[in-house]
Structure formats: C-alpha cells, structure tokens
Amino acid sequence: MQVTIDPHSGFCFGVVYAIGVAERELHKNPLLYCLGDLVHNNMEVERLKKAGLVIISREDLYELYDCKVLIRAHGEPPETYKIALQNRIELIDASCLIVLNLQNAIRRAYLEMLQRDGQVVIYGKEGHAEVKALIGQTQETAVVIGNEDDLVKIDFSRPVRFYSQTTKSVDGFHKMVKMIGDRMEAVSMGKPVDFEWNDTVCRQVSNRSAKIREFAAEYDVVVFVSDQKSSNGMVLFQECKNINPLTKLVSGFSEVERAWFDNARTVGICGATSTPFWLMEEIANGIRKIND
C-alpha cells in the first residue's frame, strides 16, 4: 500500500510566523503567555506547552502584570492593547499581516459608516478569534453572517460595507455578495444602492481548495488530519469528502482504524493550514506499519 503526504498541506505562512515568534521567545525565557490556542491543533499546542507556553483567556489578562503575552495570528481587538498598557504587559504581536490589513480596512469602513448611518457586515464564523478581533474594530457593532439564514440581521435599506474572515470559502463569500446585492436592490425602489464588498479571503488558504480536491481524487482512501475546532480544516475536509467519499477525519494516529485500508492500494494524507507537517508524517508512518 502506497502512503503519500500532500506537499501543499500544512501550516500557512501566518501560522509559521506565529509559531516561530513563540519558539524564539521561549528560547530566551521559558515562560510565555498566549491569548488562546496559538494554533487550532491540540497536538501542536501541547508541544509548545511543554516548551513553556501558557495558554490564557482574555479574562486572565486582567489579572496579569509585568509579563509577556503573545498575540496569535488571528489578531486581537483594541481592548486587548488597552488592558496591556494598563497592566504593564509587553505584547508580542504575531498577528498575521493579512489579518492586520483586514482589521485596518474594517476600522476605516466603520468610521465611514458612522457618517452615513451604514453597517459593516462580516462573512465569518460567530465566536471565531479572528472575527472577534474584527468586530472589535467597529465597537462591537459589525453584523456577522455565516449563511443565508443570517441575512435577516442586515437592514437592506441602509448602506453596507461587506468583508470576509480570511479563512472562509471564496465561493461562499461571493454567494453572499449576490444575495445582499439582490435584496438591497429589491428594497431600493429604483434608487442607487450603496453597497461595497471586499473579497478579503486569504488566497494562500483559498487556493488550497482546488489543490486538495485534485489530491483527494488520486487516492483510494484519504486521511484528513485536523482539529475539529479549525474553521479552515472543516472547510477543506468537506472539499475532500465531496471528491472522495472515503475521506476520514482524524486529529491523531490513535483515531485511525485499520479497516479503512482493507481494500486500499493508495492512501493520501492531507490537512489544514493549522495542521503541523510532523503530525501528518507521524500518521503516515503509523499507517505504513499497519500495512506491514
């Protein structure tokens, strides 16, 4: 049985950068606080915890003083920076540059919409760390939509500036663009519609969809490695599943079942932008031993 790892899977550059920053800081000092999981992968988080990384919540931040706290790739709302100043906390900012650019764009749109009685709308996952940071740029006033049912949150008679969480589906975003535009046209009574949208999906993430579909089609069985709390991971897993129904989701080798490979000649291993390559290699080697 041939077992192959997808060369296009694994960390995106934003996650690589954040982990690199964490490792450099831990090399200098074996204690570093991090606001939330550095990456949506429990195995990688555990590896970093052993090196001295301490995961904290935003509530914990209020109780910390005179220490270093890492901001992960997802970014943080302005309130986090205010607390850090008050508590003499040194922030080690590892926010993804694409996320930071999006935050700045949403902040400008918010100020514009204040003047025009408009709304900032974000296509994203409610409660996701990146989305929380984006909402923070609008004084918590942005409208978050994840599907067609959420469109009821929007007032289609008012101006709209529409953005996307960086890890969402491009197709899903453009579907929402059309729906919002159509509904604004329907209530405009022939007047010009004030609707501007910005496709802010990260192309390093979105381009993986096409590559992972091609990869999934080449193998009898596909093992997709991801933590279920990874938004990007669940999108890519579904892309694989749509192409190859014999796609299995695991977070570690302990979840792999021997029976999956009874009639398989080829097995593909792939993962999310939050899946470490070492974990995919570990699972690939375990499957090879099953075969032996």
All structural domains of the chain, each given as residue ranges with its CATH number in brackets, are 2-10+206-291 (3.40.1010.20), 13-95 (3.40.50.11270), 98-165+168-197 (3.40.1010.20)
Q: Is 130 a catalytic residue?
A: yes
pLDDT in tens, 138-167: 999 999 999 999 999 999 999 999 999 998
Taking residues 191-216, report their average pLDDT.
90
45-54 mean pLDDT: 94
Q: Contact, 131 vs 172, CB < 8 A?
A: no
DSSP string, 90-102: EEEE---HHHHHH
Model confidence at 204: pLDDT above 90: no
DSSP code of residue 192? P
User: What is the DSSP secondary-structure string of 142-169?
Assistant: -EEE-SGGGGGGS-TTS-EEEEE-TTS-
Mean pLDDT within 88-117: 96
Q: Label the pairing between strands 32-35 and 68-71.
A: parallel
Rg (CA), the chain: 21
pLDDT at 70: 97
Q: What angle do CA 173, 176, 181 make, to 5 degrees?
A: 130
Question: In this predicted structure, what is the pLDDT of residue 95?
Answer: 95
Confidence band of 240 (pLDDT split at 50, 70, 90): very high
**What gap in Å lies between CA 221 and CA 240, rounded to an integer?**
10
Percent of the chain beyond pLDDT 90?
84
Q: Is the pLDDT of residue 209 over 80?
A: yes
Contacts of residue 184, defined as CB under 8 A and 6 or more positions apart, other chains included, come to: 156, 157, 160, 193, 195
The tokens for 20 are: 């690199």
**Catalytic residue from among 44, 76, 130, 239:** 130
Q: How far is CA 270 from CA 32, 248, 249, 287, in A?
A: 31, 10, 10, 13
Instruction: Determine the length of the chain.
Output: 292
